[in-house]
């Protein structure tokens, strides 16, 4: 099939590589001014992989959209609104958009599917692609499992059939709310895990995992989703890759936040925790861990004191 990938960062470039590897005809789009695009244009390589010559590289969004039926979007979650404003002016009938990105809109708390539908219209054919795995591992042949979800099971099946392989086993999702919230919120748990690493209290990650899933399942339930989805691949199933892996940007961000080292990679959990703070208030659901991370990052609360009060407070019923 013909596949276009919008976004040539770490994941976008990998998805173009992967789609080509499993037999699709692939076009990869990046902004003309993007450092990632310029590097690929000059050398067809980045710090993670080498892009096959057969993959068409373009800075024309219209060309990338017009040439394919399956269009994967893999950009910063906070840039999705601007991109969809451009996409809504193009001919997009009979195209399936797949959001392979994890986040929430920081200013509104909206799920990314909501952002797309509100700008491009509810008749847009849309799926999400979430779950564990790192580019470095996949490129080295280490397999993992991920999830495809949408509001239409036939679309979910079509995307699963198009992209599932021995390298990435794709499962059918059936809870768009739960999978979107779970995928986004795991990055906040990753930041908290990194902070514990920075404080040399990594042993508390067990408590973080147990309590993090519980508070987020309550939120998903309040939002109309299935609270059990949090215990699936989009959230709990992604904890190993996010809370423990040296490749995790969010875990690393939390660690260097404590140690004072420099870090220049995107940590989506920073914006996501703003959204979760908003959703916590909107749905009147207490999110102690998320609110604790928010207090540290945005209210300049003491990291050690905040986390100790959170995890080592007197025993209470949850």
Cα three-residue angle 196-200-206, rounded to 5 degrees: 50
Given a cut of 60, is residue 53 above it in pLDDT? Answer: yes
CB-CB contact of 63 with 27 (8 Å): yes
Residue 265 a catalytic site member: no
Helix (H) or strand (E) holding 97: strand 96-99
Look at phi and psi of residue 267 and say left if phi exceeds 0, alpha if psi is from -120 to 50, else beta.
Answer: beta
How many CA atoms does the CB half-sphere of 85 hold within 13 Å?
A: 4
Structural domains of the chain, ranges and CATH numbers in brackets? 2-172 (3.40.50.720), 184-311 (1.10.1040.10)
Structure tokens belonging to residue 34:
């993007």
| Cα of 192 vs its chain's centroid, Å | 17
Residue 312 has pLDDT above 80, yes or no: no
Token duo for residue 115: 């952002």
Catalytic residue chosen out of the listed positions 102, 110, 158, 186: 186
Task: Give this prediction's pTM.
Answer: 0.95
Model confidence over 85-138: pLDDT tens digits?
999 999 999 999 999 999 999 989 999 999 999 999 999 999 999 999 999 999
Q: What is the pLDDT of residues 186-234, one digit of tens each?
A: 999 999 999 999 999 999 999 999 999 999 999 999 999 999 999 999 9
Strands 168-172 and 144-150: parallel
For residue 259, the model assigns a pLDDT of: 96
Sign of the alpha-carbon dihedral angle for 158, 161, 162, 167: positive
- CB–CB of 167/18 below 8 Å? yes
Coil vs helix vs strand at 149? strand
Tokens of 240: 């190993």
């Amino acid at each position: 099939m013909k596949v276009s990938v919008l976004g040539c960062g770490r994941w976008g470039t990998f998805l173009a590589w992967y789609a080509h590897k499993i037999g699709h005809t692939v076009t990869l789009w990046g902004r003309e001014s993007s450092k990632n695009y310029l590097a690929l244009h000059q050398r067809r390589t980045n710090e993670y992989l080498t892009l096959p010559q057969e993959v068409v590289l373009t800075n024309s969004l219209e060309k990338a959209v017009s040439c394919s039926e399956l269009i994967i979007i893999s950009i910063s979650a906070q840039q999705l609104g601007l991109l969809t404003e451009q996409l809504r002016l193009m001919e997009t009938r009979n195209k399936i958009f797949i959001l392979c990105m994890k986040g929430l809109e920081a200013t509104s708390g909206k799920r990314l599917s909501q952002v797309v539908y509100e700008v491009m219209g509810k008749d847009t054919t849309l799926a999400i692609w979430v779950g564990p795995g790192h580019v470095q591992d996949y490129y080295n042949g280490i397999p993992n499992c991920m999830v495809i979800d949408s509001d239409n099971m036939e679309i979910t099946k079509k995307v699963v059939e198009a992209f599932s392989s021995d390298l990435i086993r794709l499962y059918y999702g059936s809870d768009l709310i739960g999978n979107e919230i779970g995928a986004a919120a795991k990055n906040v748990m990753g930041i908290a895990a990194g902070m514990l690493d920075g404080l040399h209290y990594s042993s508390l990650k067990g408590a973080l995992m147990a309590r993090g899933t519980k508070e987020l399942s309550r939120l998903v339930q309040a939002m109309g989703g299935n609270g059990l989805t949090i215990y699936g691949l989009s959230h709990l199933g992604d904890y190993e890759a996010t809370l423990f892996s040296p490749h995790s940007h969010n875990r690393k961000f939390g660690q260097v936040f404590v140690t004072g080292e420099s870090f220049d990679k995107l940590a989506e959990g920073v914006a996501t925790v703003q959204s979760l703070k908003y959703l916590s208030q909107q749905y009147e659901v207490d999110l102690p861990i998320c609110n604790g991370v928010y207090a540290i990052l945005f209210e300049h609360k003491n990291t050690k004191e905040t986390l100790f009060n959170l995890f080592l407070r007197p025993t209470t019923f949850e």
